[in-house]
Amino acid sequence: MLGYALRRIVGLIGVWFVAIVLTFVAVQFVPGDPIVAMLSDQSGDRALEARLRAEYGLDRPLWVQFVDYLRNIANGSFGLSFRYAQTPVSEVIAGGLLITPLLALVSISIAVMLGVLLGVFAAVRQNSWADTAVILVLVTGISIPNFAMAAFLVYVFAIQLGWLPVAGWGRLDQMLLPVAILVIPPTAYIARLTRTYMLEVLSRDYIRTARAKGLRQRLVIYRHALRNTLVPLLTTVGIIFGGLLSGTFVVETIFNIPGLGRMAIESIFARDYPVTMTIVLLFTVFYSLINLIVDLAYAALDPRIRLGQERGT
Amino acid sequence: MNRPTIRAMLRGTAMAGVVAFSASAVAAQELRTNIPADPGMIDPITYSELVAGDILDNVYEGFVGIDAEGNVVPALATSWEGLDGNLGFRFTLREGVTFHSGRPFTARDVKFTFEQLLIPGNRGGLNARYLDPIVGAQAVKDGETTDLEGVVVIDDHTLEVRFSEPDVLFPIYPFYFMDAGVIEEHGEDWFNRVSAGTGPFRIEAWNRGQEVVLSAHEGYWGGTPQIDGVRFVIVPTGDTAVSMYEAGELDLVYAADTAIRRILRDPQFDDERITAPAAQIQYLGMNGNVYEPFQDARVREAMCLSLDREAIIQGIYEGAAFPLYGQITPGVAGYNPDFPAMPHDPDRARALIAEAGYPGGEGLPPVKMQTTEPNRNLNLYLASQFQDILGLPVEVEIVERGVFIPAMNAGEVALFHWGWSAGFPDALYFLSQVWYGPSPYNRARWQNDAYDALIVQAQATADERERYALYHEAERILIEDFGTCGTTMRMQVAVKKPDVEGVALTPFRFLHFGDVTINR
């Protein structure tokens, strides 16, 4: 197990390095020029452009810029922001650093609990009206785009009823709507998967055996069926987490939450490349870490995986 | 690995958490308004963008300010007189003005501000460019000295500024004077801790991504503000800002383009709306160097007569614009209220294009009209008008802003519709930067010797009435030669709660909030 974990962690570092190279290369191909963006209508003053280019080090050969980029990652400053005068990227993003992971983790926890409950509920009542109702709600939840749902919920709960604030961050009541929006799609997804896996498990022989020996329904479901449903479900959590992270871009912008997603959007529009690149890297790190955790948990739960891996190498 | 940086980062995060979660109810007498993004900076030296300007206008002041109509009024200078040959000014500064620190404002602070703007490595922003005519400015820029020779402190409240070439507009440039003692007291990064202006508000806090908080400057020379402070809440989406306003979370909202329609259409805002034209010209650029038929004034006139401004205003801007015929907007000194309107006259346009040798557009090569994505609809409409009325084959090309503007400034775009926002309230800003022959921002490359001579003359004419007459003459030449035609002016739209008084929306966005009262 330890060997497996170590190999995965080493692999992760490789992934991160590739991400660093890719973000650097991608920025070189983006149309538009950060210096021109800074000057906007006044661009055309060649001397001023040249001065700014030199100040930000953009006049140096690409490989020198890349080495500099690596050095800035290593010293934790991530370079200077283009938009904020004399401010290192680390300072620009510090405020949002914990907000987005917090939002994502809270949302995924709620989504897993809610999704599994709904899925089990629907599965054990297969083809009843309750099952149909749950499926209908789930399909609706997946189908309505998050920005439309957000506008609707804000209109009802904030403007009409006045129960919740429209936007902002810092108080618990300000978290409710954004988390709700983030929770809906993964809940629906998890519930559908749970229902499918559960139905499959319920048709297995050992369930019939459990029932035959007179176990109560509740025990059959939660002790025998659910556990075996959770294992395949776990692998999908990593994928869902990726979707959640991208959902934060929209939700943070609409609800005015100063997290990394909103900062990413702002930095893209302002051509603040160092900030954009850093946020892309951070999202890569979050995503790969969650996947690592999922894989390790999976390996811990299911010995076939880690043994298979060890035998294979 | 540089540990302190990482630690500082984590500490920042932890603190943001603490601050955020203890933020409680809003103070009773606080004006809450929106800004679309974090300011790029909050110091008066590197200041170089719009959002920062919205905040700093409340915190710092220059020789002059503007009133609600956009007229120049004295601020930190009470009067000034020109030196011989227009080679400078002698300013009399206001007495009894104190900085946020409590130190008195004197002529030395003005000199200090100018020097700070010029010293290399300080990255002097927008206001540095106004200092070029001062004697010795280049020496400071080159790092040879930090003493700006041409600015002479006569006594605490008298200052002489000497030029190497005349610049009659110098007194109205929008400077932000800063407290010369602040660096000694708080160090090079003083702006992270205090503000150093004389304005009605001081900067209390900037919580990145969330808000900038100002508090009243007791002892402000114009009278201590009657509100406790201003909270600029950072709201990137226009719709969210309007929703927050509806829910009572904001008192005043400056509407983003995307939110204007909602505010204009919804009757609940009828009594809370404020509108004003923006000090921004919009015009049709016809570059004869790139597209040869534009060298013929008849073709340019035909283009201008094809414009249906009323249709543009109603159809494209949904009412949120005003017609513009000349190249000076109201609220900018030198505006000519009697400037003749230009008709929408398709028949005459057709006749002119035939006269120029292209009857029904026959023989006109295709022309490329470039613009950016947000302006797609307007440009497609204009192109269809040129096509329908004149038979001019127009190809609209949508390009990235960062590609479009440099190309336009380099004189490489044949046909475009674009604008220019005034940086200070004088018509020379439009006339000398956009249409003066040698200007790098003369994007259509229209050139006229009589016009250029008038601009040069105006730049050396201190008497305002005389100067404005020159502006009017120059504007007349520009439009009669169809060097361009004005199209529309943007309408600024804001909403304000009924219990808030004293907010003024000028052609230059909001006036500072020093006169605001709230009856909650």
Check whether B262 has a pLDDT greater than 70: yes
Residue from the list A37, A170, A259 with its beta carbon closest to the beta carbon of B23: A170
Residue B12 to residue A94, Cβ atoms within 8 A: yes
Mean pLDDT value across chain A: 85
Least reliable range by pLDDT among A251-255, A296-300, B301-305, B516-520: A296-300
Q: Tell whether B105 and B152 lie within a shared domain.
A: yes
Find, in chain A, the residue whose alpha carbon is nearest to that of B405: A41
Q: Is residue B424 assigned to a domain?
A: yes
| Number of separate helices (H) and strands (E) present in chain B | 15, 22
- pLDDT tens string B84-112: 888 999 999 999 999 999 999 999 999 99
- Nearest 5°: the CA angle A235, A238, A241 is 145
Q: Does B49 fall in a domain?
A: no
Contact A95 B12 (CB under 8 A): yes
Asked whether the predicted pLDDT for residue A312 surpasses 70, the reply is no
pLDDT at B26 exceeding the cut of 50: no
Q: What is the pLDDT of residue A307?
A: 60
pLDDT band at B473 (very low <50, low <70, confident <90, very high): very high
Residue B63 reports pLDDT greater than 50: yes
Q: Does residue B15 register a pLDDT over 80? A: no
- At residue B160, the 3 state secondary structure works out as strand
Residues 346-375 of B with CB under 8 A from A: none
Report, as an integer, the average pLDDT of A11-29. Answer: 90
Residue type, B471: Y
Q: What is the pLDDT of residues B343-365, one digit of tens each?
A: 999 999 999 999 999 999 999 99
**In terms of residue numbers, what domain contains B390?**
280-491
Q: Give the pLDDT band of residue A305 (cuts 50, 70, 90).
A: low
The pLDDT score that the predictor gives to residue A306 is 63
- As a whole number of angstroms, the distance between CA A116 and CA A179 comes to 18
Indicate yes or no: CB of B46 within 8 angstroms of CB of A85: yes
H helices of B134-256, where?
137-141, 182-186, 238-246
How far does the CA of residue B117 sit from the closest CA of chain A (Å)?
A: 14
A254 in Cβ contact with A167 (< 8 Å): yes
In A149-188, the residues whose Cβ lies within 8 Å of chain B are 151, 154-155, 158-159, 162, 165-171
Per residue in B491-515, pLDDT (tens digit) is: 999 999 999 999 999 999 999 999 9
Closest partner residue to B40 (CB to CB) among A32, A85, A158 is: A85
For residue B459, the surrounding DSSP H or E stretch is helix B449-459
| Co-location of B137 and B224 in the same domain | no
CB-CB: which of A44, A95, A271 is closest to B402? A271
pLDDT of residue A308: 58
Give pLDDT tens digits for B323-341. 999 999 998 999 999 999 9
Chain A residues near residue B259 by CB distance under 8 angstroms: none
Q: Is B306 left (phi over 0), alpha (psi -120 to 50) or beta?
A: alpha
Identify the three-state secondary structure at position B443: coil
Residues of A within 8 A of B19 (CB-CB) are 170
| pLDDT tier, B10 (very low <50, low <70, confident <90, very high otherwise) | very low
Question: What own/partner pairs with CB < 8 Å and gap ≥ 24 does B38-42 have?
Answer: B38/A84, B38/A266, B38/B206, B38/B208, B38/B209, B38/B234, B39/B206, B39/B212, B40/A83, B40/A84, B40/A85, B41/A84, B41/A85, B41/B125, B41/B191, B42/B191, B42/B195, B42/B203, B42/B206, B42/B212
Domain A99-258, second-level architecture: Orthogonal Bundle (1.10)
Residue B293 lies in a domain: yes
Same domain, yes or no: B181 and B302 = no
Distance CA B356, CA B378 (A): 27
Per the model's pLDDT, the better-predicted residue between A202 and B194 turns out to be B194
Supply the CATH number for residue B250's domain: 3.40.190.10
At B23, the pLDDT band (50, 70, 90 cuts) reads very low
- What residues of A are in contact with residue B402 (Cβ under 8 Å)? 31-33, 36-37, 271
| Low-confidence winner among A306-310, B157-161, B462-466 (lowest mean pLDDT) | A306-310
Residue B12 has pLDDT above 50, yes or no: no
Say if residue B397 is in the same domain as residue B449: yes
State which amino acid sits at residue A309: Q
What is the C-alpha separation between B97 and B77, in angstroms, rounded? 11
Q: What would the two tokens of residue B427 be?
A: 């018509």
* Residue A217 vs residue A79, higher pLDDT: A79
- Give me the residue label for tokens 């909001």: B510
**CB neighbour list of residue B44: distance below 8 Å, 6 or more residues apart:** B56, B60, B113, B127, B176, B177, B178, B196, B197
Over the stretch B404-432, which tens digit does the pLDDT of each residue have? 888 899 899 999 999 999 989 999 999 99
Of the candidates B153, B72, B59, the residue with the CA atom closest to the CA atom of residue B112: B153
* Distance of residue A58 Cα from the nearest chain B Cα, in angstroms: 16
Residue A198 is predicted with a pLDDT of: 86
What is the pLDDT, as a whole number, of residue A297? 82
**DSSP H stretches of helix in B237-339:** 238-246, 257-265, 297-305, 309-311
| Chain A interface includes B210 (CB < 8 A) | yes
- Look at B247 and A159 and tell me if their CB atoms are within 8 Å: yes
Structure tokens at A212: 């035959």
Please count the structural domains in chain B.
3
- Tell which residue, B131, B156, B155, B136, has the closest CA to residue B146: B136
Question: B104 by DSSP, 3-state: which?
Answer: strand
Q: Where in the sequence of chain A do the CATH 1.10.3720.10 domains occur? A: 99-258
In the three-class reduction of DSSP (H, G, I as helix; E, B as strand; rest coil), residue B273 is classed as: strand
Q: Which of B168, B192, B216 is the last residue of a domain?
A: B192
**How close is the nearest chain B Cα to the Cα of A271, in Å?**
9
In this prediction the pTM is: 0.85
Q: Are residues B390 and B448 in the same domain?
A: yes
**pLDDT of B195-225, one tens digit each?**
999 999 999 999 988 899 999 999 999 999 9
pLDDT at residue A89 above 80?
yes
What confidence score (pLDDT) does residue B138 get? Answer: 94
Rounded to whole angstroms, how far apart are CA atoms B438 and B418?
A: 19
Q: Is residue B402 part of a domain?
A: yes
Closest CA to B302 of B369, B357, B365, B375: B357
